[in-house]
């Protein structure tokens, strides 16, 4: 598997990619949760100011002597709460300092009325330390949970029982001179935040896939540019080993491979010169050591003399 340059390079690339994107993914997930939550909380907090402005207009235009005009003002408040709720994808409540929901951006389910409404006909929210803080002074609180069990009701099962809640209190003054607090609550399901995170992760994975594809192609092209000259050098070395010293490489790159090719060509030229010198030397030596040719009569006389000496 790891016998070729391409396989080694692609293996190293995959390992680096997995490590890099794993670390990036964990860091993105960690910071994304906090970032999206903080961004949404800031949006809800800024929206609470706009809701308060609308409520101020509502209170300033109430005329109990004119029921028709009051219905118009009521419709204005209802429509604006619905508009802000759709814009922020949240549920908006206007709550008095006793904990009663005066207005809501959505119509509450009957199950909620049956559980939380009292003889006043209004729904009273669960009171906790955060609510006490909001009533005591103008402040802002935020939390993630089920709002003291409120969102565990089956009516909210589809949205889930984890909600991001931002509450902000605003001080008003009665005509009598007494002060009272109005609390603006905005709730958004945590599932909505998860969907935003999933959307970011989806684009992250798409970009990662595109990056891998492009990088794979680039690694493949680069490995070919690296391995092809090496294959030429290997083939040329094999021919030289078989005595074919005329082979030269045509590699003109300016990098280390090009330097290796030029050195190889110099070596091949030197070996060719040595081979030519060797062949010339052998030819000269063979010529000098070649015995002279004798006439046949002389050879017969020599053999006859040798035979007579042996007989003695």
Over the chain, what is the mean pLDDT?
81
Main-chain phi, psi angles of 175, to 5 degrees: -65, -25
pTM, entire model: 0.60
Give the residue-averaged pLDDT of 220-224. Answer: 76
Q: Which residues contact 87 (CB under 8 A, 6 or more apart)?
A: 47
With pLDDT > 70 as the criterion, what percentage of the chain qualifies?
86
Distance CA 239, CA 242 (A): 5
- 5-197: CATH topology: Beta-Lactamase (3.30.450)
Distance CA 251, CA 238 (A): 17
Which residue has better confidence, 151 or 196? 151
Per-residue confidence band for 209, with pLDDT thresholds at 50, 70 and 90: confident
Surface-to-core class of residue 161, CB atoms within 10 Å of its CB (0-12 exposed, 13-18 middle, 19+ buried):
middle
- Supply 164's token pair: 């991001």
Per-residue confidence band for 191, with pLDDT thresholds at 50, 70 and 90: confident
- Supply 13's token pair: 């690339």
Residue 296: which H helix or E strand, with range?
Answer: helix 296-311
Give the residue-averaged pLDDT of 146-156. Answer: 87
**What pLDDT does residue 308 have?**
57
Q: At what angle do helices 256-289 and 190-241 cross, to 10 degrees?
A: 10
Domain boundary assignment for the chain? 5-197, 205-289
Give 46-67 pLDDT, tens digit per residue: 999 999 999 999 988 877 677 7
* 155 pLDDT above the threshold of 70: yes
Q: Are strands 179-189 and 163-173 parallel, antiparallel or unpaired?
A: antiparallel
Main-chain phi, psi angles of 56, to 5 degrees: -65, -45
**What pLDDT does residue 298 have?**
52
Per-residue confidence band for 309, with pLDDT thresholds at 50, 70 and 90: low
Give the residue-averaged pLDDT of 270-284. Answer: 78
**What pLDDT does residue 306 have?**
56
* 21 pLDDT above the threshold of 60: yes
Give 64-110 pLDDT, tens digit per residue: 677 788 888 999 999 999 999 999 989 999 999 999 999 999 998 88
Distance CA 265, CA 261 (A): 6
């Amino acid at each position: 598997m790891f016998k070729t340059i391409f396989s080694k390079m692609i293996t190293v690339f995959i390992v680096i990619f997995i490590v890099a994107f794993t670390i990036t993914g964990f860091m993105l997930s960690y910071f994304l949760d906090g970032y999206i939550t903080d961004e949404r909380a800031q949006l809800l907090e800024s929206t609470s100011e706009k809701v308060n402005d609308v409520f101020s207009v509502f209170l300033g235009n109430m005329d109990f002597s004119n029921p028709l005009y009051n219905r118009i003002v009521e419709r204005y408040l209802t429509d604006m709460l619905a508009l802000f709720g759709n814009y922020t994808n949240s549920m908006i409540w206007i709550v008095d300092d006793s904990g009663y929901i005066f207005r809501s951006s959505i119509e509450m389910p009957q199950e909620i009325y049956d559980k939380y409404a009292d003889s006043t006909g209004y729904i009273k929210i669960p009171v906790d330390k955060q609510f006490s803080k909001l009533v005591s002074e103008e402040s802002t609180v935020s939390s993630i949970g089920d709002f003291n069990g409120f969102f565990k009701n089956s009516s909210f099962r589809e949205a889930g029982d984890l909600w991001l809640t931002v509450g902000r209190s605003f001080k008003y003054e009665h005509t009598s001179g007494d002060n009272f607090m109005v609390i603006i609550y905005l709730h958004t399901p945590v599932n909505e935040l998860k969907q935003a995170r999933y959307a970011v992760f989806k684009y992250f994975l798409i970009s990662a896939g595109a990056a891998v594809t492009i990088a794979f192609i680039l690694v493949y092209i680069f490995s070919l540019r690296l391995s092809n000259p090496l294959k030429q050098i290997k083939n040329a070395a094999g021919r030289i080993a078989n005595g074919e010293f005329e082979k030269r490489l045509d590699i003109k790159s300016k990098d280390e491979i090009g330097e290796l090719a030029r050195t190889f060509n110099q070596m091949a030229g030197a070996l060719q010169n040595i081979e030519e010198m060797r062949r010339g030397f052998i030819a000269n030596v063979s010529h000098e050591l070649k015995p002279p040719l004798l006439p046949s009569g002389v050879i017969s006389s020599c053999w006859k003399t040798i035979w007579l000496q042996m007989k003695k």
